[in-house]
Amino acid sequence: MTDLLTLNDDAGRALACELVTELEIDGTQYGLVIPQSTPVRLMAWEGSEEESAEDALLADLDDDEIDRVFPTARAVLAEQNLKLVDSAYLLIIEGEVPNAEEAEVYSIADDEDEDGDVEEEYQLLEEFFFEDRRYGIFTPLDPVMMFVELVDDGTPRVLDPEETARLMPDFEEALLDLAE
């Protein structure tokens, strides 16, 4: 049986996750979790409309812009019988995600990587225009994994990016030990 956890944020939103493994580091219990629903990333194309999709740059949206385009993105995905949800920590979709096709896959730099040399592959689910700007709704091809602290009261606490970066060498070592 798989352990399920619900992550909650300060806004009262929830995200259901599967607990993949537990790790103990310096007496503290941590867990590696994967969201049960499909995560998505809203991005905007930068540059002129004459540029090909391969040459255009993609930009992440700030929270205010996500709030403005969210109703349009939700309506666009509803045409594919997908429901866009603003859950805790991630935007997710509910429904059957279409299979990735070669033309729909993009390599996008990880926005948390300061050097910009880590790229992940994303499937373009849909694109739309809002106020004369072109947007894309992308889902990662690889699972999204998050580290949480498993606190004594049973409520998991999502680690902030700085904590995760600081603990990453310990996590990697613990995961390697589990693999052996």
Residue for token digits 């867990």?
Answer: 31
In this structure, the answer to whether residues 24 and 90 fall within a common structural domain is no
Rounded to 5 degrees, what are φ and ψ at 52?
-75, 160
Q: What pTM was estimated for this model as a whole?
A: 0.83
In this structure, the answer to whether residues 85 and 164 fall within a common structural domain is no
| Predicted local confidence at residue 113, as pLDDT | 52
Q: Does 55 score more than 60 pLDDT? A: no
In this structure, the answer to whether residues 111 and 175 fall within a common structural domain is no
Closest to 138 in 3D by CA, of 65, 84, 67, 68: 84
Domain containing 19: what range?
A: 3-35+144-179
Q: Does 147 score more than 80 pLDDT? A: yes
In this structure, the answer to whether residues 8 and 29 fall within a common structural domain is yes
| Predicted local confidence at residue 1, as pLDDT | 47
In this structure, the answer to whether residues 54 and 82 fall within a common structural domain is yes
In this structure, the answer to whether residues 102 and 53 fall within a common structural domain is yes
In this structure, the answer to whether residues 106 and 42 fall within a common structural domain is yes
Q: Which residues of 11-33 are buried (b: 16+ CB within 10 A; e: fewer)?
A: eeeebebebeeebeeeeeebbbb
DSSP assignment of 153-166 equals TS-EEEPPHHHHHH
Q: Does 175 score more than 50 pLDDT? A: yes
d(CA 122, CA 131): 24
Quickly state the pLDDT bin for 107 (edges 50, 70, 90): confident
In this structure, the answer to whether residues 79 and 118 fall within a common structural domain is yes
Quickly state the pLDDT bin for 125 (edges 50, 70, 90): very high
In this structure, the answer to whether residues 31 and 48 fall within a common structural domain is no
Please, what is the average pLDDT of the chain?
Answer: 86
More confident residue, 44 or 51: 44
In this structure, the answer to whether residues 109 and 154 fall within a common structural domain is no
The number of folded domains in the chain is 2
- Give the helix ranges, DSSP H, for 28-110: 63-78
In this structure, the answer to whether residues 87 and 175 fall within a common structural domain is no
In this structure, the answer to whether residues 150 and 135 fall within a common structural domain is no
